[in-house]
Structure 1
Amino acid sequence: MAQRALVETRQQEKGRQGEDLACRYLEGQGLVVLSRNWTCRDGELDVVAVEGDRLVVCEVKTRSGPAWGRPDEAVDQRKLSRLRRTALRWLASHGVGWSNVRVDLISVTWPPSGEPCLQHLRGA
């Protein structure tokens, strides 16, 4: 049981590091990060940012290697639908009317002994 908790903690830490990297990348691209790890009954948004007049919802997937598949393979149509619903909840909870919303995917592959590789898929 303790071993499993340790593995989950390592995975959570790597996920947080991947989200940190993704936020720095987005800010470097000129986006303004508004929220991180925002949750509601419909789900969680890893990163909510704005690019001009467009709200950008980013799902960040971090993997340490190929054992669990490529990060982008974890996001299917069902997940994308849930992200869109959750984005609408974010807009409502922040008192923002209709907005142009784009859902992006940021894949981070970060091997234990190497440098991270980030890929940004706009409009997933």
Structure 2
Amino acid sequence: MTRGSPLNLSRGRKAEDIACTRLQQAGLALTTRNYRSPFGEIDLIMQEHDTLVFVEVRYRSSDDFGTPAETVDARKQARLRATAEHYLQNTPRASKKACRFDIVALTGDGEGGDFRWLQNVF
């Protein structure tokens, strides 16, 4: 399957659903989903107390060729930062809040697979 195929999009959406549910169970509140800017997209923007949390969700069926979190390289981090800055500049109520970047890494079949929530990663 090529990147962007319906199967990959379906798996990505399911991974985002799982991540969102698990983070909400941990006490975070969903603010925005799939925020797009000219620089890229942020999967989930959530709030934990007075902190905005920009969440990148990564899924892989196995970690044979590296973990999902390892795919968030310097280039991807720069795009996430630029997109977060765009969000903050265009959302006045958010611009004065502390913020952090988290990664949710899912491996396996989703529900029963490995779930890792890496907080304040960059």
Identity of aligned residues (%): 33
The CA deviation at 1:68 is 4.8
Runs of 4+ in 1 over 4 A off after TM superposition: none
How far apart, CA to CA, are the structure 2 residues paired with 1:83 and 1:99?
17
Q: Residues 85, 56 of structure 1: CA spacing in aligned structure 2 closer, same or farther, 3 A cutoff?
A: same
Q: Deviations for 1:11-37, whole angstroms, at most 9, x for unmatched residues?
A: 111111000000001101100011111
Residues 49-105 of structure 1: CA distance to partner in whole angstroms, max 9, x if unpaired? Answer: 000110000000011113553101110122222212211111222223232110000
Q: Which of 93, 96, 107 is equivalent to 1:109?
A: 107
Flag the structure with higher helix content.
Answer: 1
Runs of at least 5 residues in structure 1 that lack an aligned partner in the other structure: none
Q: Provide the alpha-carbon RMSD of the alignment.
A: 2.1
Choose 1 or 2 for highest CA Rg: 1
Query: Aligned partners of 1:98, 1:68: CA distance in 2, in Å?
Result: 40
SS at match of 1:10: helix
Give TM-score, length-normalised by structure 1.
0.86
TM value normalised by structure 2: 0.88
